[in-house]
């Protein structure tokens, strides 16, 4: 919109300039001087107007110093002897990671910090933050600008405040948990505690912490190798326990079968003893057993009283 108005006033001034052409020109330019005057006045007024974008906050610097009042989104009348510096009010994200081409620092940049057991854990995490727009003048005055560019101040904040405060808050928090808790079950709790601690630290600089995201947790190489070896040993121990249980079950079963066989043999032996004693006292028991087992058929042949004589008792075979 400002550009369009500047263009309109510029055309008006150019039109007014035509009235100063030599008088021999035949063409007349009505209201040329008036248009030139309106264009000059319009451009003068536009020089007092400053537009602050939706994603920005302005800091007003006067000849007497920096105004404590932030200049918010919209159009503002600002005398030309004052200057409005724009600052980004959007959310910035700073990432600590070992992955290449993801974080602000190229190379390995995960945060390593000891746990309750003294074991160091590595964490990849992202910090989402922004400036408090109401305190943009304070930040402009009190926070160093790194390279003089529009993002220099934010780079300085990340390098000197975000990094240091994040590492401190993370170390204080992780030191209260065991490695397995940091790795799995307590990750959300750790994230919430860091959010609270880091947020309080950043508020001292009028910075707003939006979110802390723990993206990945990992052990150092030596400890991870030790854990893997321990897991393998535990699995082998469990396998041996299972094999031992199976063998114990087999031994129990064999013992049961042995006891059954012994008891059966003892029973048969006792039965034979009782039977033998009964026969010795009463020989006719043998005849009773023979009768009990007889199927009713007479024998085909029978030995006679004389030696070598066999009687054929089957009349059919004697024919």
DSSP for the chain, written as a single string: -HHHHHHHHHHHHHHHHGGGS-TT-----TTHHHHHHHHHHHHHHHTTEEEE-TTEEEEEEETTEEEEEEE-SEEEE--TTSEEEEEE-S-EEEEE-SSTTTSSSSS--PEEEE-TTS-EEEEEEEEEEEE-GGGHHHHHHHS--SSSSTTHHHHHHIIIIIHHHHHHHHHHHHTTS-HHIIIIITHHHHHHHHHHHHHHHHHTTTEEEEEEEEEEEEE-HHHHHHHHHHHHHHHHHHHHHHHHHHHHHHHHHHHHHHHHHHHHHHHHHHHHHHHHHHHHH-THHHHHHHHHH--SPPPSEEE-SSTT-EEE--HHHH-
Which residues make Cβ contacts (< 8 Å) with residue 42, sequence separation at least 6?
5, 8, 9, 12
Task: Report whether pLDDT(169) > 90.
Answer: yes
- Residue among 163, 160, 74, 178 nearest 120 (CA): 178
Task: Report whether pLDDT(6) > 70.
Answer: no
pLDDT, position 26: 47
**Cβ count near 235 (within 10 Å):** 10
How is 215-268 classified by DSSP, letter by letter? Answer: EEEEE-HHHHHHHHHHHHHHHHHHHHHHHHHHHHHHHHHHHHHHHHHHHHHHHH
The whole-chain average pLDDT of the chain stands at 78
149-153 — which CB contacts under 8 Å span 24+ positions? 150/86, 150/88, 151/88, 153/87
pLDDT, position 45: 65
Segment 296-308 shows an average pLDDT of 56
pLDDT, position 158: 92
Alpha-carbon distance 18 to 36, whole Å?
Answer: 9
Between residues 304 and 189, which one has the greater pLDDT? 189
pLDDT band at 294 (very low <50, low <70, confident <90, very high): low
Please give the CATH architecture assigned to the domain spanning 91-219: 2-Layer Sandwich (3.30)
| Percentage of residues in the chain having pLDDT higher than 90 | 34
How far does CA 102 lie from the centroid of its chain?
Answer: 17
pLDDT, position 111: 93
Task: Report whether pLDDT(305) > 80.
Answer: no
Measured in residues, the chain has a length of 319
**Cβ count near 43 (within 10 Å):** 16
What would the two tokens of residue 310 be?
């066999």
pLDDT, position 102: 82
Contact by Cβ (8 Å): 127, 164: no
Q: Which of 151-155, 159-163, 221-225 has the highest mean pLDDT?
A: 159-163
pLDDT, position 9: 53
How do the domains of the chain map onto residue ranges?
Answer: 2-83, 91-219
Task: Report whether pLDDT(283) > 70.
Answer: no
């Amino acid at each position: 919109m400002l550009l369009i108005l500047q263009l309109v006033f510029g055309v008006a001034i150019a039109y007014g300039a035509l009235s100063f052409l030599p008088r021999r020109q035949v063409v007349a330019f009505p209201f040329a001087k008036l248009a030139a005057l309106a264009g000059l006045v319009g451009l003068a007024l536009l020089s007092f107007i400053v537009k602050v974008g939706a994603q920005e906050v302005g800091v007003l610097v006067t000849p007497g110093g920096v105004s404590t009042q932030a200049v918010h989104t919209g159009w503002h009348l600002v005398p030309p002897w004052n200057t409005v510096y724009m600052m980004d009010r959007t959310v910035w994200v700073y990432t600590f990671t070992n992955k290449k081409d993801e974080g602000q620092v190229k190379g390995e940049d995960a945060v390593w910090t000891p746990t309750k057991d003294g074991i160091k854990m590595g964490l990849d995490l992202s910090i989402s933050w922004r400036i408090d727009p109401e305190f943009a003048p304070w930040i402009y005055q009190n926070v160093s600008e790194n390279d003089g560019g529009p993002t220099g101040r934010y780079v300085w904040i990340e390098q000197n405040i975000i990094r240091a405060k994040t590492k401190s808050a993370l170390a204080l928090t992780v030191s209260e948990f065991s490695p397995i808790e940091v790795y799995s079950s307590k990750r959300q709790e750790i994230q919430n505690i860091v959010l609270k601690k880091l947020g309080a630290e950043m508020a001292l600089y009028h910075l707003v912490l939006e979110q802390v995201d723990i993206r990945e947790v990992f052990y150092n190489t030596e400890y991870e190798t030790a854990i893997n070896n321990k897991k393998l040993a535990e699995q082998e121990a469990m396998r041996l326990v299972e094999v031992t249980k199976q063998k114990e079950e087999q031994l129990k079963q064999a013992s049961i079968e042995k006891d059954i066989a012994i008891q059966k043999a003892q029973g048969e032996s006792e039965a034979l003893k009782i039977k033998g004693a009964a026969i010795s006292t009463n020989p006719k028991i043998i005849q009773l057993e023979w009768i009990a087992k007889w199927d009713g058929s007479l024998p085909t042949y029978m030995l006679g009283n004389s030696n070598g004589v066999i009687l054929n008792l089957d009349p059919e075979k004697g024919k």
